[in-house]
Structure 1
Amino acid sequence: MIYIKSEKEIELMRVAGKVIANLFEVLEKVIKPGVTTLELDRIAEEFIIKNGCIPAFKGLYGFPASICASVNDEVVHGIPGLRKLQEGDIISIDLGANYKGYNADAARTFPVGEISDEAKKLIEVTRESFFEGIKYAREGNRLSDISHAIQVYVESHGFSVVRDYVGHGIGRKMHEDPQIPNFGPPGKGPRLKRGMTLAIEPMVNAGHYSVRTLEDNWTVVTVDGSLSAHYENTIVITEGEPEILTIL
């Protein structure tokens, strides 16, 4: 069932979203060679709690940390640990915050020092594909209009869209209906209605879209070892342009 949110509910999600947006600015400044992903997790958890929220990922389905930290060929769900970031890496950080029972969710991919031109292009195309998609996040359109726009933009730049993981509705639960693929034909799925809250999250590979899960049963990597990037925001369908809750 797709839940339509009241203005009061959306306001609670706005608070969580603003905390996430501010946290990404903090993390961007500390991401550099030599920093461990565990340090990033500690910084994120402390920031979320200090700002009156609960880390929404910690314990979710048994996940052991407050952020997902996925480096280079890791697509999603990387577990923070003692790995030190190195010059030229890229790191995707996915995180959520819960405020008074309501969630927001977002992801960014950051460069670590100087990165390759391919990595720069991958990060930029992944980010821009989100904005191409939400051009169609308007009342009356079909859900897959967003999906199709993301896929067309990504593939026009020579990259591929991950098929195995998708965006989702969000609210009292981190993952609600509907599922939101980043690929597929337009004109399918439910019609978008005012008050829908959605987490749109393109996951884009430099090589083939195939992925596999490592032995930790969490970390998802590209099968061909190619780089992967992730960009996500929580949005609200309005009577006009969508509102993005996780951008300042």
Structure 2
Amino acid sequence: MTITQQDQLDGLKDIGRIVANTMRAMARAMEPGMTTAELDRIGADHLAAAGALSAPQATYDFPGATCISVNEEIAHGIPGDRILAEGDMVNIDVSASKNGYFADTGATYRLGRLRPSQEKLRRDGKRAMEIGIARVGAGKPLAGIGQAIGRFAEARGYTLIRNLASHGVGHSLHEYPEEIPTWPSQDKRRIDKGLVLTVEPFLSRGGLWAEEGDDGWTLYSDPAAPVVQFEHTVVATDRGAIVVTLPG
């Protein structure tokens, strides 16, 4: 989606605020002994109360309102009977639509205390996303996002999952440009003014690829390694990026 009018930006900010508030509510509700299905129900209730529709359910018939990925699961985790425990890393990914506008956000949370190396990875994962967002702007190279994230990752000894990319969003969950590398690439495209996209690097301590599990949805790191993901939906302007997935 390319925004050309204020009402489009307003509609995008509305659904962006909804998904951000939903994710925050889920994160605050997490506690040991809760199942991921119970956590997903909280997200489903928040979306419904705001008049929004779960995008993965509506678009792909995903078996949950949100994606909840725990520890070795790195993305697209199906909410179910898995019980959350102290020391878990939990990725919550919320995408939804309202009035024809879509927004997508995600973050990796900790349940209780993590090992220092895990907490450092989590903090650096958020920083990697912020570094990528700083490279978003009208006329800038699309590859600049991944190049900046790649420099940050390499300098700190991290790897990046290279088959999970950022993407265009706005009128649908995934749209042009459908694959935006968040790792160094030779992509020659430039960012149009008003382009709506996600920035969502998957930062790891050794992982290179995402492999699908037996359930047909859940993704795991190959080679096996800790992975974190942070994601915002942003709009490219002459002055940089407007982040629309902020709580409020």
- The TM-score bracket by the shorter chain reads over 0.9
Check the 8 A contact 2:23/2:93 in 1, yes or no.
no
Where 2:48 maps in the other structure, the secondary structure is: helix
Which amino acid letter does the alignment assign opposite residue 125 of structure 2?
T
- Equivalent residues of 2:207, 2:224 under 8 A apart: no
* CA displacement at 1:122 relative to structure 2: 1.1
Matched letter for residue 112 of structure 1: L
Extract unaligned runs of 5+ from structure 1: none
- The CA distance in 1 between the partners of 2:58 and 2:190, in whole Å, is 33
Q: Is 2:230 the counterpart of 1:235?
A: no
Verify the 8 A CA contact 1:53 1:98 in the aligned structure 2: yes
Partner of 1:30: 29
Query: Which residue of structure 1 aligns with residue 182 of structure 2?
Result: 182
CA contact (8 A) 2:146 2:182 kept: yes
Change over 3 Å in CA distance of 1:54–1:62 after alignment to 2: closer
Q: Residue 164 of structure 2: SS of its match in structure 1?
A: coil
1:70 aligns with 2:73: no
TM-score (norm 2): 0.94
Aligned residue in 2 for 1:161:
160
The alignment partner of 2:57 has SS state of coil
Residues 220-229 or 167-176, more deviating: 220-229
Deviation at 1:245, TM superposition (A): 0.5
**How do 1:169-208 and structure 2 match up within 5 A?**
169-178=168-177, 179-185=179-185, 188-208=187-207
SS at match of 1:83: coil
TM-score (norm 1): 0.94
Structure 1 residue 135 displacement after superposition: 1.4
Structure 2 residue aligned with 1:107: 106
2:3 corresponds to 1:5: yes
Which amino acid counterpart does residue 51 of structure 1 have in structure 2?
A
Do the aligned residues in 1 keep the contact of 2:86 with 2:113 (CA within 8 Å)?
A: yes
Alignment-mate amino acid for residue 236 of structure 1: V
Deviation (angstroms), 1:62: 2.5
In the alignment, the residues of structure 1 paired with residue 157 and residue 121 of structure 2 have an alpha-carbon distance, to the nearest angstrom, of 10
Structure 1, 223-232 or 43-52: larger mean CA deviation = 223-232
Q: Count how many residue pairs are aligned between Structure 1 and Structure 2.
A: 245
Contact 2:207 2:227 in 1 (8 A): no
Secondary structure in 1 matching 2:15: helix
Q: Deviations over 1:93-151 (max 9, x none)?
A: 11112010110000010001111111101111111001111211011111010111112
Classify the secondary structure of the residue corresponding to 2:240: coil
Conserved 8 A contact 2:164-2:210: no
Identity across the alignment (%): 31
1:202 corresponds to which letter in structure 2?
Answer: P
Which secondary structure state, in structure 1, belongs to the residue aligned with residue 233 of structure 2? strand
Task: Say whether the 8 Å CA contact 1:57–1:96 is kept in structure 2.
Answer: yes
Q: Any residues of structure 2 matched to 1:17-166 within 5 Å, and which?
A: 17-166=16-165
2:188 and 2:30 map into 1 onto residues whose CA distance is 39
| Native 8 Å contact 2:22 2:94 kept in 1 | no
1:57 alignment partner, SS class: helix
* Superposed displacement of residue 32, structure 1: 2.0
Q: Structure 1 segments of 4 or more deviating over 6 A? A: none
Quote how far apart the aligned CAs of 1:24 are. Answer: 2.3
Which consecutive unaligned segments of at least 5 residues does structure 2 have?
A: none
Cα distance in 2, alignment partners of residues 155 and 94 from structure 1: 26
